[in-house]
């Protein structure tokens, strides 16, 4: 029994999500219908995806729905893109010990 003036130290163990997809917070935007990310789709063209980002770990969101392992996420140059725009993706190194879709640094495609 804990009486007034006494204290205890308590440690809570958090949940562990196996196979969670982590996305850098800077890649997640807020749209009219919730959280969105831009991905590099077929033929290296930009696609917009609605996601369900439920919580975060460090500087990354935990994504429950809307992405799959291997999706290429655009994390830089978001102000330069629009759905359907051609891009030239450049891979970024993935953080150690996490399951992360391949992140892509955006470089605008130059007209020939």
**Confidence at residue 109, expressed as pLDDT on a 0 to 100 scale:** 54
Q: How does residue 1 score in pLDDT terms, banded at 50, 70 and 90? A: confident
**Confidence at residue 42, expressed as pLDDT on a 0 to 100 scale:** 86
C-alpha atoms less than 13 angstroms from C-alpha of 39 in its C-beta half-sphere: 17
pLDDT, tens only, 2-35: 889 999 988 877 777 777 899 999 999 998 999 9
Do residues 63 and 23 lie in contact, with contact meaning Cβ atoms separated by under 8 Å?
yes
Global pTM reads 0.68
**Confidence at residue 2, expressed as pLDDT on a 0 to 100 scale:** 85
Of 59, 91, 97, the closest CA to residue 72 belongs to 91
As a whole number of angstroms, the distance between CA 54 and CA 24 comes to 13
Question: What percent of the chain clears pLDDT 70, i.e. is strictly above it?
Answer: 83
Please say whether the structural domain 21-108 has been given the CATH code 2.40.420.20: yes
**Confidence at residue 108, expressed as pLDDT on a 0 to 100 scale:** 52
CB atoms within 10 A of CB 60: 20
């Amino acid at each position: 029994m804990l009486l007034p003036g006494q204290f205890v130290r308590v440690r809570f163990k958090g949940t562990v999500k196996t196979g969670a997809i982590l996305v850098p917070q800077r890649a997640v935007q807020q749209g009219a219908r919730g959280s969105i990310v831009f991905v590099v789709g077929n033929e290296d063209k930009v696609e917009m995806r609605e996601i369900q980002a439920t919580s975060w770990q460090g500087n990354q969101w935990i994504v429950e729905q809307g992405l799959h392992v291997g999706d290429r996420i655009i994390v830089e140059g978001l102000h330069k893109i629009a759905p359907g725009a051609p891009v030239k993706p450049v891979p970024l190194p993935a953080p150690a010990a996490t399951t992360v879709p391949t992140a892509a640094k955006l470089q605008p495609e130059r007209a020939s």
